[in-house]
Amino acid sequence: EPYLDTSFIGRNIKYFDTIDSTNKKAKEIAFDENEGTVVISEEQTEGKGRLGRHWVSPKGKGIWMSIILKPKVDPIKVSKITLLGAAAVHKALKNMNIESQIKWPNDILIDGKKICGILTEMNCELNMINYVVMGIGINVNFNQEDIPVDLKDKAMSIKISKDIEINRKELLGNIINEFEKLYIDFRDKKTISKAIKVCRESSALIGKEVRIIKGEEETLGKVLDINEEGELVVEFQDGTVDNIYSGEVSVRGL
């Protein structure tokens, strides 16, 4: 692994040619594997986004991976791991001279379209975390025809945008290296401020008018900031300002 410069994340890699979902596999093996174990597959036949939504994961064209983590933190803090993942992907791309934007809380955009989604799941009991699985899906070397017609206006790949084939191993190594640094700060020093800085500076939402969708509920507002807790600070149309915790909200531009 020439691109890896970590102490524990990615030191144990479970590699598959094909799999239903890397998050599903990671959850199955999480109790028996050490923190930092990575499940990675060339394709996913049932890749998942949030709320069970399908994630398109064609063979050899992306990075479809899940990282097993066992942080000793309060379970309510786990959603912050998604922001660490987003910041790590953004930094890794930047290291390779690729500019991107973070769409809080779990997507990375290029040219305003999604190239990466992050799905963090956890298993806990009695306020103790058994494990966390963070899945990262990145559209790396998709060609136009690899994007399903119904996703053409919201999905993008690095290759389509930059017109170059990307070395997936180099990008993978970079992401894991960047993630480990941010994760150690979170786990041991209980701080996410470096990741928040990255999410803020590269935010696709700050200053924008958005729709916030929570189940059946939809509200309009303007995004003011991402605070130190990693929450989205929104000013609603009636002038009230509130902090939105990532939970299960979707944010859409107007």
Residues within the interface to ligand ADP (CB under 6 A): 49-51, 53-56, 106-107, 114, 117, 139, 151, 155, 250
Residue 49 vs 75, nearer CB to ligand ADP: 49
**Residue 238: CB minimum distance to ligand ADP, A:** 25
**Residue 40: CB minimum distance to ligand ADP, A:** 16
Pick the closest to residue 136 from 186, 225, 69 (CA basis).
Answer: 69
Residue 2 vs 52, nearer CB to ligand ADP: 52
**Residue 137: CB minimum distance to ligand ADP, A:** 6
**Residue 6: CB minimum distance to ligand ADP, A:** 26
Residue 207 vs 253, nearer CB to ligand ADP: 253
C-beta nearest to ligand ADP: residue? 49
Residue 159 vs 181, nearer CB to ligand ADP: 159
Between CA 53 and CA 9 the distance in angstroms is 27
Contact between residue 139 and residue 116 where contact means Cβ atoms under 8 Å apart: yes
Between CA 41 and CA 163 the distance in angstroms is 24
Residue 81 vs 181, nearer CB to ligand ADP: 81
**Residue 188: CB minimum distance to ligand ADP, A:** 29
**Residue 10: CB minimum distance to ligand ADP, A:** 22
Residue 106 vs 174, nearer CB to ligand ADP: 106
